[in-house]
Amino acid sequence: MYALQFEIGAVPYPNDATEPFEVEYTDYDIDTTYVTEYHVLYVNAKDANNRYINLEFNVVTGTTAPAAGVYPVDNTDAIGTVTSGFVNGARFAGSFANQLTETGIRALWVFGQGTVTVAEDATITVDALNTKGTAIKVVLHKQKSAIDEISQKSKVESRKIIENGLLIIRNNGKEYNTQGALIR
């Protein structure tokens, strides 16, 4: 099931990339638009050189990110796989990589077979071949958001003690009376 199909224009576009597609991305986006209706989650990235990748994960409803594990690339549309791609005239769909230029797509690598591995830290590694047997070797790192980077300060322990018949509160090496006034 191809939730998205891309149209290149009226002219058929050959899947003719013969040089390997090898890229390491510093971040990627996740599109959950089609998870409920089609059970498809898209991961895509583009680098500064306009090299683009689109991965079509087959997932269960409610999925918001690919789970850690190894996903075979095939055309079964089974949950737990990454969909291989196809080209039909001016349309293509499924998982693919391409090189974008100002005038359009320079080369297209439509996934034929291979594996996509998602690590616990959300790094995605692609080891695949396009339908012509050309290597697609990609690593996608997921940048942490500002929320992910927040670290909690160590919990400060306050202690209440009785000294010479008075209640004293110790906090961060200082001592206070019951009204909160600093005494030492």
- SS3 string of 137-149? EEEECCCCCHHHH
Residue 121 half-sphere exposure, CB side, CA atoms within 13 Å? Answer: 9
Task: Spell out the domain ranges in the chain.
Answer: 5-141, 157-184
Q: Element (H or E) spanning 170, and its range?
A: strand 166-171
How many whole angstroms separate alpha carbon 116 and alpha carbon 82? 7
Beta strands in the chain (DSSP E): 5-7, 21-25, 29-31, 40-46, 51-58, 69-74, 82-83, 86-88, 91-93, 96-101, 104-118, 124-130, 135-140, 158-163, 166-171, 174-176
Does residue 14 have a pLDDT over 70? no
Residue whose pair of structure tokens reads 């509160």 in the numeric block? 169
Task: Quote the distance between the C-alpha of residue 148 and its chain's center.
Answer: 14
Q: Element (H or E) spanning 37, and its range?
A: helix 35-38
Does residue 101 have a pLDDT over 50? yes
Task: Tell if the pTM clears 0.85, that is, is over it.
Answer: no
Mind listing the pLDDT tens digit for each residue in 41-85?
999 999 999 899 999 999 999 999 999 999 999 999 999 999 998
pLDDT band at 6 (very low <50, low <70, confident <90, very high): low
What pLDDT is attached to residue 178? 82
> In 3D, which of 45, 57, 111 has the Cα closest to residue 82?
57
Mind listing the pLDDT tens digit for each residue in 148-165?
545 444 456 778 888 888
pLDDT band at 11 (very low <50, low <70, confident <90, very high): very low
How many whole angstroms separate alpha carbon 44 and alpha carbon 155? 40
What's 171's DSSP letter?
A: E
Residue by residue, DSSP assigns 46-61 as E-TT-EEEEEEEE--T
Q: Evaluate whether 184 touches 174 at the Cβ level (below 8 Å).
A: yes
Q: How many helices (H) and strands (E) does the chain have?
A: 2, 16
